[in-house]
Structure 1
């Protein structure tokens, strides 16, 4: 009986050791697969975040792209003639088109716009660039990321476009306003109208109040719509205070100050942080000296 029990106990202990080894191997396999999966996810996210920077770096480091970009954007001497500028920009576009073709993309010449913004007031420049046997002439306005820019940087076309789209939205909301509560109307107006007034509004910093007056009229009409008041015959300042809406000019200044604060202290892009340098006093001050 004793000799029979000993082999059985040995077999039991051996089986338990095998089970423990198997479970340990399974845990290690799961941990390895989880780590690999998280590493893949992290590397994928990093590629997504850094993809644009890599593409810009590749285009900038191209043979002619870097020289054209430096000649046009950096503090280097201006191009001597329109012919030289046209040749360098055309060569840069050829490099960009080749890079896009290598990455399964296509540069459409028919949708490419040329906007010339002179540094000083000057007559119209005869600047024409060529792209894939297509000639591109300067245009008065160009659209970039939803913002219409003009060659004088007055942003009058952008203000006009935003005003037209906001009036259309207010008209449609007015038609369904009898079926909405005040809170629902406010949410709808803030999502569709006020968001358009706030989009890239820091570009309007420095404009005269006359230039942004159409946008202020849109905000006043939106406030009256929320409270179901007549458009032209009700004072809007109490309405804006009740809704906690800053006027358009104050919203532009607030956005500019917020960008400056983030560039100095917050999570702003590196190209914005590089533009901000702390001010140093020309002489030592009592407030900065240590006793």
Structure 2
């Protein structure tokens, strides 16, 4: 089988399953994310013919694949960007409230979102908490992107650097 056909198979059968509704994986326990990461690692090993004893991080970096946790964050942040820019559903944008400090601060016009208080771990897994929490960690240059394609590019660069540096 050619390398190009193998890449198509991996993307069709592995990543379509990993990325399908991965927005609901927010707040998933580390053990479950680890299992999904093992699937991605196995796909990378098959694609690059890397032995099981070799370290996987350089392989993922060379393929330019985001680890599973960053893929989940990417999907959440993409939903937030779309909702804030009128490209997403109204019910999602209704969950996102802009951060408005009680007095003038330098952070006033930076596109931050208000993170609601929660009392339980289950509350931290809710979209209304996790989305603003993750969004506020993204650099302002990424949050203020003019187009969806520039946002995606900047976001992937940011997440890739965070994962592999």
Instruction: Tell me what 1:207 maps to.
Output: 28
Query: Which stretches in structure 1 are left out of the alignment for 5+ residues?
Result: 1-179
Q: Which one has a larger percent strand, Structure 1 or Structure 2?
A: 1
Residue 229 of structure 1 deviates from its aligned partner by 3.0
- The reply to whether residue 240 of structure 1 matches residue 66 of structure 2 is no
Contact 1:224 1:234 in 2 (8 A): no
**Match runs of 1:125-140 below 5 Å:** none
Contact 1:202 1:256 in 2 (8 A): yes
Q: 1:272 aligns with which of 86, 92, 111?
A: 92
Q: Deviations over 1:90-130 (max 9, x none)?
A: xxxxxxxxxxxxxxxxxxxxxxxxxxxxxxxxxxxxxxxxx
Distance 2:108 2:50 in 1: 55
Instruction: Tell me what 1:75 maps to.
Output: none
**Match runs of 1:70-149 below 5 Å:** none
- Structure 1 or 2, whichever has the larger Rg, is 1
Residue 274 of structure 1 deviates from its aligned partner by 1.7
Instruction: Tell me what 2:160 maps to.
Output: none
C-alpha spacing 1:286/1:253, structure 2 compared with 1 (3 Å): closer
Q: Deviations over 1:194-216 (max 9, x none)?
A: 11001111111122221211110
Distance 1:286 1:245 in 2: 35
Paired residues, number: 109
**Match runs of 1:1-291 below 5 Å:** 180-230=1-51, 232-285=52-105
Contact 2:99 2:108 in 1 (8 A): no
TM-score normalised by length of structure 1: 0.35
